[in-house]
A = this chain, B = another copy of it.
Amino acid sequence: MPVTIYDIASKAGVSIATVSRVFNESPRVSPSTRSNVLEVAAQLGYQPHATARSLARRKSSIVSAVIPMLTNYFFVEILRGLQDTLAKTEYDLLVFSARTLDEVDGQMDRALQRGQAAGILVFSSPMTPARVERLSKAKEALVLVDCFHAGLDSVTTNNVEGGNLATKHLLEQGCQRIALLMANPESVPARDRREGYVRALEAAGRAVEENLIVVSADEEHHGYSEKSGYDAMRQLLSVAEPPDGVFATSDVQAIGALRAISEAGLPVPDTIRVVGYDDILISQHVGLTTIRQPMYEMGVVAAKRLLSQVSSPTQVRAQTVLSPSLVVRRTTGGQSELAHTEVAQS
């Protein structure tokens, strides 16, 4: 029933090799033959069979992305960059989403199915030795996105710089006691952001007070949750001398913290200033000062890197590090750039 190159070949009076050449834009076909074949093909409504093609070419036209917690706005934005870039090529995108970091290994195995994809992108997953081993063994084109491992291609943002930016901003705002609300320490970005926080304090000649750092032990989303921020903030507010500045390793945590602060009746930004991380959609509406990552660009760069690896496997490895930027809003005394906030003030 489905039409194959054989049907075209016989109807056009040529061999299947010639038909194949036409569809592969081979220069070794005479113009007349080409147009003849094309015409017959159009007439029959021919479409190349994707799978057969991949098999014969020994190369798939699919790229796989392993993404934990797809719900995150963060990933969706990166995905957009990816998609927009891939759409211009012949590659399609297979998405493997993991609900938790533990599911990543399973999804990675699926994504690494031999013959399935020409390359694979792994998002935001800590590079455990087992994973590195598994990934290198597969010998497939690979780009890490938002995570890092020496010797592997990666696209990340500079979390140390981000933590630094956030903390420096709070310092400049005159904060004296700056707390850190941290997600699970097994999260590398969280650790890096803390590193930036520590460096900023030290650069300013301030001591790092351990009791101002609250590390989440929440399982859910590895501590990147509203509840985690809320709980941490409650804890900070219960001590004798509460902080006057808070840097949370994510916006959701910051929003939780804001809730705790609001419940305690303390004014933001007057008594306490708050900075988050990510610039998720809500942040605009809440007026949360935050660190924004160039998500869309990450997707674009990652796709390009992967494609260039696919086309020239000998490619040197490269680590691309993009810089985050500070977005000042109401929670640190900035002007909300969006009138939205008023909405909720009614």
Q: Which residues of A contact B (CB under 8 A)?
A: 2, 45, 47-55, 60, 62, 70-71, 76-77, 79-80, 83-84, 87, 92-97, 99, 107, 110, 112-116, 137, 255, 258-259, 261-263, 267-268, 281-282, 285-287, 339-346
Contact = CB atoms under 8 A, between A and B. Distances in A.
Contact of A116 (B50, B55, B115): B50
A275 to B, nearest CB: 15
Contact of A285 (B79, B112, B286): B286
B96 A95 contact: no
Contact of A80 (B54, B62, B71, B107): B71
B70 A342 contact: no
Contacts of A71: 76-77, 80
A115 B52 contact: yes
Contacts of A49: 114-115
Nearest to A343: B258
Copies per complex?
Answer: 2
Contacts of A286: 285, 340, 343-344
B47 A51 contact: no
30 contacts: A2-B114, A45-B137, A47-B114, A48-B114, A49-B115, A50-B115, A51-B55, A51-B116, A52-B55, A53-B115, A70-B76, A71-B76, A71-B77, A80-B97, A83-B95, A84-B99, A92-B110, A93-B96, A94-B94, A255-B340, A255-B343, A258-B340, A258-B343, A261-B346, A281-B282, A282-B285, A285-B286, A286-B343, A341-B344, A345-B345
Nearest to A258: B343
Nearest to A46: B114
A346 B342 CA distance: 11
Contacts of A87: 107
A219 to B, nearest CB: 18
A277 B267 CA distance: 32
Most buried by B among A84, A112, A115: A115
A313 to B, nearest CB: 13
Nearest to A339: B259
A112 B79 CA distance: 21
A130 B343 CA distance: 43
Contact of A114 (B50, B76, B77): B50
Nearest to A272: B346
Contacts of A343: 255, 258-259, 261-262, 268, 286, 344
Contacts of A47: 112-114
A339 to B, nearest CB: 5
A342 B262 CA distance: 6
Contact of A262 (B45, B255, B339): B339
Nearest to A57: B51
Nearest to A346: B268
A262 B116 contact: no
A83 B55 contact: no
A345 B282 CA distance: 15
A286 B95 CA distance: 32
B83 A92 contact: no
Most buried by B among A113, A261, A268, A346: A346
Contacts of A79: 70, 95, 97
A47 B137 CA distance: 12
